[in-house]
Structure 1
Amino acid sequence: MRLARLWAWRGLLTFMLGHFTVDLYSGLLPILYALTAQRLNLDNRDIGLLALCYTAASSLSQPLFGYVADRWGGQLLAPLSLAWSSVFVSALGLIDAPALLYAGALLAGLGSGAYHPVGASNASMLVDDRRRNTAMSVYTVSGTFGYALGPLIAAFLFGVLGTRGSLAMLPLGLSVAVSLRLALRQFQLGLPTVRSRERARREPIRWGALAPVMAVVMLRSWVFMAVVTFAPVWYRDLGYDVRFYGLLASVVIASGSLGTLLGGLLADRIGQRVVLVGSLALAIPALLLFAGLPGPLALMTGALFGALADASISVTLVAAQRLLPGRIGVASGFILGMGFVTGGIGAPVTGAIADHVGIQQALLFTSALLLVALAACWLIPRQVLSAETVRPAPGPSVAVTTSLPQRESD
């Protein structure tokens, strides 16, 4: 049993390394966009279009790449997507023509879109169902850590070498892609199973049950992105120093990562429904306190909101995977992709509201979205949020037996 768990965690670390690296490249982009805009004399609209090209390609392609991962596995897709992302992100700093810049951002986004569902689906299959929330939360935090580290590396690298310093990031991505490929072969991970394909053909997608899960994901992402985007602008307008509102944004994001990790651990111990409903219900007063009481206290209320808002990320991801049996990659692609794109779309909608009523009132308004998300929780079938009703994978060595090629004939 101990050997099987060690094997599973070694495999999970493999996919976490890939997730960390691909999101590290994503974290470079905001700094790269700003410096490239200065170099090529681009306006804010152009910067927004660049961000949209990357975000749309990354998020909307994930269900498609999830299908590819379910059908053919991820032994090639995972390392190729990482190498692809590293090549095109590294090339962005060298491009001098705006039209090519948009194309490069779109192509770079496809690499990110390809890795996320294959990484999440394979990480999920490495553990039995009773530990899946924990595995998904740890896997998710590895990407968040890479994304948070990206701007720091970009500030140093581009500050010394300029935007063309992006090329210096290429060896990292290629070396991790090679390491990922070798590790997948060694651990026999990322292989499709006949059992999964047969289950996918036999069991239809429960779209009616999946819809409330998607609603929770989309509304939660909208609110979190709105807070992270507009809290710094709000405190700038209030006259606070950049060091304060920069720290505030970091506190909210870091607390979200901590909440994701703790939420996954708790979900496997006290139940997914308790974590999902409880965290969303508590996030509403936390957001009201954050928006209603501006000042230094925001560091505390922002941390509380961030942790509670993101505590249920692993729960919704696992719920979607259960609702699409045999299609874990597609489920992961839907949840990760739609959450990402909704956050990107919701931020400008909140911004438009803020232009009319002010940022404080706009953030207070977003608490109503959490209330709708909380209501949607009651439409999710109870058995989907209960590990006891899902038969655990046979044997303690699920990390191996779910992916070994000789098991395809079972």
Structure 2
Amino acid sequence: MSSRQVDLRAVGRDVQSHLGSERPSGAKRLLLLVSLAHLVSHVYILALPPLFPFLRDRLQVGFVELGLALTVFNVVSAVAQAPIGFLVDRIGARRVLAAGLGLGGLALLSIGLVGTYAWLLVGAALAGLANGAFHPADYALLSAGIPKAQMGRAFSLHTFAGYLGTAIAPAVLIGLALLGGPGLALGVVGLAGVLLVAFILPMRVPAAQGPADAGKQPADGGSPTGGTIFTPAIISLTVFFALLSFSNGAIQNFSVAALVSGYGITLTQANAALTAFLMLSAFGVLVGGFLADRTRRHGDVAAAAFALTALLTLLVAVGDLGALALTLALGAAGFLSGVIAPSRDMMVQAAAPPGGSGRAFGIVSTGFNVGGAAGPLLFGWILDHGEPRWIFGAAVGFMLLTVLMALRDRWAAGKGAAPAAPTR
């Protein structure tokens, strides 16, 4: 082989590396499909609650019985999430994601078709099992197929898609139910998820991590290379996720009741304040993605953003603000709480063992279920005892604990600051 041939091949490799060959388009397609799956998963989560008035009449049951279906969904999801994370790393994230989409869609479709209360509970259990697949599979696929320098933005777009699914679900479900009943609504949503499986199964996962990381993340998130998963970092992040769930759940689920009963504002004004919190959270996620790609100090970003969130929430808890000021304060708090989401996910990815993203995200995501199950009991007790301002006060307490956890993990990782990641 001549030196000229060697030189030409070297030049070809350089050009290919700069152009990225098919990686950029492959990574974009991967991000699009995984984000669509995340959007659909959030629609699955909220498929039943908007239909409760329709289902109550159709099934001839009360709201307590309907609420039991949500309890079944969440309990099954909480129990299933960590084992499914191990399954992701064993057989591949693409297969598990397709199975979750298909099972969730068929579960909702069957609830709409069968139309009995007993099957509502069975379908809710199946949908909960399917829900346990999304976070482990999604994050394993993104960790394997997205270039490292773009990971924060990819996580932020993925999270934003979930927020979008949450936002559109009530309008879509209620609109379809008004058009043709709850069976049509559940059938359309379920069928949409099943159809998406046809795009997920043939999806290629580009090996986008580069030579240094090629051995860490298998292309499909499967075939783990080993490594202990129950590390102090993973356990700490599980607690971190639970604290996030407590504080965000207080505002998302109980702020309207607290504002109406303790702040002298109308239901419309209280809903406007919550809407500002939720909408600006979604845009905060997008900004957080850019921050996450420009630093390796993800714990510092999370701690700083959530400390400011706590300060704004404390202002709501103790101040006598008018409706406009409350809306502005909660909107700003929502934006900052959204900023931390990509850094939070980057912290989990960094703590995952080689080939163990599915297990890591499966385990830490159970923290959300813990907060989602225990939080309502605490916040309901606060409201029942006539202390609506303590909804925000308790949220502040959990936020400060979250800040301490983030700083603790930062200090435990090493006293010196990590160098900033290169930008692109």
Residue 387 of structure 1: how far off its partner (Å)? 10
Q: Tell me the equivalent position of 2:287.
A: 262
Aligned twin of 2:194: 174
Q: Which of the numbers 274, 281, 287 marks the counterpart of 2:307?
A: 281
Aligned residue for 1:301? Answer: 329
How far 1:227 sits from its partner (Å)? 0.7
List per-residue Cα deviations over 1:45-79 (Å, max 9, x = no partner).
Answer: 22332111112222331111111111110232222
Give 3-state SS (helix, strand or coil) of 1:66's partner.
helix
Where does the alignment leave 5 or more consecutive residues of structure 1 unmatched? 397-410
How far apart, in 2, do the equivalents of 1:127 and 1:185 lie? 9
Question: Highest relative contact order (Cα 8 Å, sep 6+), 1 or 2?
Answer: 1
Is the Cα contact below 8 Å between 2:153 and 2:290 reproduced in 1?
Answer: yes
The letter of the residue matching 2:284 is G
Task: Decide which of 46, 66, 84 is 1:27's aligned counterpart.
Answer: 46
Write the letter of the residue equivalent to 1:175. Answer: L
Once residues 92 and 14 of structure 1 are traced to their aligned partners in structure 2, the CA distance between those partners, rounded to angstroms, is: 26
Please list the CA deviations of residues 184-221 of structure 1 after superposition, one character each: whole Å capped at 9, or x if unmatched. Answer: 48999963565xx22x2xx3335222233222221111
| Aligned alpha-carbon RMSD (Å) | 2.9
Counterpart AA for 2:289: G
Which protein has the larger Cα radius of gyration, Structure 1 or Structure 2?
Answer: 2
Partner of 2:316: 290
TM-score by length of 2: 0.83
Residue 42 of structure 1 aligns with an amino acid whose one-letter code is V
Which residue type is aligned with residue 390 of structure 2? Q
The structure 2 residue matched to 1:356, chosen from 385, 392, 417, is 385
> For residue 147 of structure 1, what is the amino acid of its counterpart?
T
Q: Percent of counterpart pairs with the same letter? A: 22
1:90 to 109, 124, 144: 109
Question: Do 2:46 and 2:166's aligned partners in 1 also have CA atoms closer than 8 Å?
Answer: yes
- Equivalence map 1:68-87=2 (5 Å): 68-87=87-106
Query: How far 1:37 sits from its partner (Å)?
Result: 2.5
Structure 2: how far apart are the matches of 1:390 and 1:37?
55
- 8 Å CA contact 1:223–1:343 kept in 2: the answer is no
List alignment gaps of at least 5 residues for structure 2: 1-17, 209-217
State the AA in 2 paired with 1:135. Answer: A
Query: Aligned partner of 1:115: which letter?
Result: F
Q: 1:243 to 1:92 in 2, by over 3 A?
A: farther
In the superposition, relative to structure 1, how do residues 217 and 170 fare at CA in structure 2: closer, same or farther (>3 Å)? closer
Divergent runs of 4+, >6 A: 185-189, 389-392
- The residue aligned with 1:44 is 63
2:255 corresponds in structure 1 to 231
Match of 2:239 among 215, 218, 221: 215
Rounded to whole Å, the distance in 1 between the matches of 2:111 and 2:417 is 45
What TM-score results when the alignment is normalised by the length of structure 1? Answer: 0.85
Query: Residue 103 in 1 paired to residue 122 in 2?
Result: yes
AA at the equivalent of 2:251: V
Whether 2:31 is the aligned partner of 1:12: answer yes
1:232-263 alpha-carbon deviations (Å, 9 max, x no partner): 22344466554433333222112222222212
Structure 1 residues 77 and 246, CA gap change in structure 2 (3 angstroms): same
Of 266, 273, 282, which residue of structure 2 is paired with 1:248?
273
Verify the 8 A CA contact 1:323 1:384 in the aligned structure 2: no
